[in-house]
Amino acid sequence: MKVIIAGGDGFCGWPTALYLSNQGHEVVIVDSLVRRKWDQELHSNSLTPIAGLEERIDCWRALTGKIIKAFIGDLNHYDFLREILIQTKPEAFVHFAEQRSAPYSMIDRDHAVFTQVNNVVGTLNVLYGIREVVPNCHLIKLGSMGEYGTPNIDIEEGYLNITHKGREDRLPFPKQPGSFYHLSKVHDSHNIMFACKAWGIRATDLNQGVVYGLHSNETLIDPLLVNRLDYDAVFGTVLNRFLAQAATGQDLTVYGKGGQTRGFLNIVDTIRCIEIAMINPAEQGEFRVFNQFTEEFSVLDLAHKVQEVARANGFDTHISHLENPRIEKEDHYYQAAHSKLQDLGLEPHLLTNDILNNIFCSVLEHKNRLSKDNILPKIRWV
């Protein structure tokens, strides 16, 4: 298939591009490279040294003979996006190209406004571009489990059957996002749902949990293909942050009680979910929602897992609690459905000590690049 991967230089997008290319798909990356600029803004970095996009693509072609095309530009510039759609005529459009950090969106007014404009307008442009140029193209949009929040009922996959005053309907599951970033994802979902209804676009909304891991089979082929590893308090995941703390002799700092529970999945499962959505596309006019995660863990669960792996490697690691900088429930019910992708063939890679140990070894290998000052939170919700 011809597939555009918007955000193909990022943590999820890059290994997805390599994997789909390796499977024989015709891959086009569209990226503004803004994620690298945010590292400069925040005085942060990927713990693993990552090559430039052009160098990455050249390396991939030299090693495999497979060509990945790249266009550098912003989805908020509609003429740029439209021209790419005209040139490439994609059958699938995988949309990773958004500001993805809740803390970044909560820095101040400017960052909140940027996040919402960048994410919502970019997605609207994609919808209009598909409608105008490639109406049969299947939009595969990365959403977030954070759109749902932490309701005191089971979370369904996108929709909920409601009985109210003797009448029944099937409605979108209520959204209770916890940051301006997650709100932007909710706005995206509503806009995509409307476009499918009004214009007959086909779309899959992948409400993804927290992604962990680093390597895929393809990124391991050569050091120039390695994926990024974020460990800081703004873009780093909780697991990466704990692993970085363990490697540098710091306490594993749990926000509040640590009962915050979320869905998690391995990066290789993220890649596979994209492929599953591609080869099993939504129907024309269908807006479908898949909850994309494989396991649920609390923050404290993860701290204990990292502590076990660190101590097995000779690190005397301890857990401490910080005042939570976020506004969120720290002890709550959490049960979310996530069967649709597995019904279509996803075989989960679960979070084992071996997988954690592999990430920890990568952290240890590059810990001289780590800035301790970037690990503890500086951004507060209030």
78-100: average pLDDT: 98
pLDDT at 256: 98
For 308-339, the pLDDT digits (tens) are 999 999 999 999 999 999 999 999 999 999 99
358-372: average pLDDT: 96
Q: Say if CB 377 and CB 53 are below 8 A apart.
A: no
**CA–CA distance, 82 with 95 (Å, rounded to integer):** 15
For 91-144, the pLDDT digits (tens) are 999 999 999 999 999 999 999 999 999 999 999 999 999 999 999 999 999 999
Taken in order 203, 184, 28, 21, is the CA torsion positive or negative? negative
1-28: average pLDDT: 98
pLDDT at 264: 98
**CA–CA distance, 62 with 135 (Å, rounded to integer):** 35
Q: Say if CB 7 and CB 13 are below 8 A apart.
A: yes
Q: Where are the beta strands (DSSP E) in 32-166?
A: 69-72, 92-95, 138-144, 159-164
Name the DSSP letter for residue 236: S
Report which secondary-structure segment, H or E, holds 262: strand 261-266
**Mean of the per-residue pLDDT values for the chain?**
98
pLDDT at 216: 97
Name the DSSP letter for residue 119: I
For 180-228, the pLDDT digits (tens) are 999 999 999 999 999 999 999 999 999 999 999 999 999 999 999 999 9
Question: What DSSP line would sit under 143-196, residue for residue?
Answer: EEGGGT---SS-B-SSEEEEEETTEEEEEEPP---SSHHHHHHHHHHHHHHHHH
Helix (H, G, I), strand (E, B) or coil at 297: strand
Whole-model pTM?
Answer: 0.97
Q: Which domains, and CATH codes, for the chain?
A: 2-374 (3.40.50.720)
pLDDT band at 276 (very low <50, low <70, confident <90, very high): very high
pLDDT at 150: 98
345-355: average pLDDT: 97
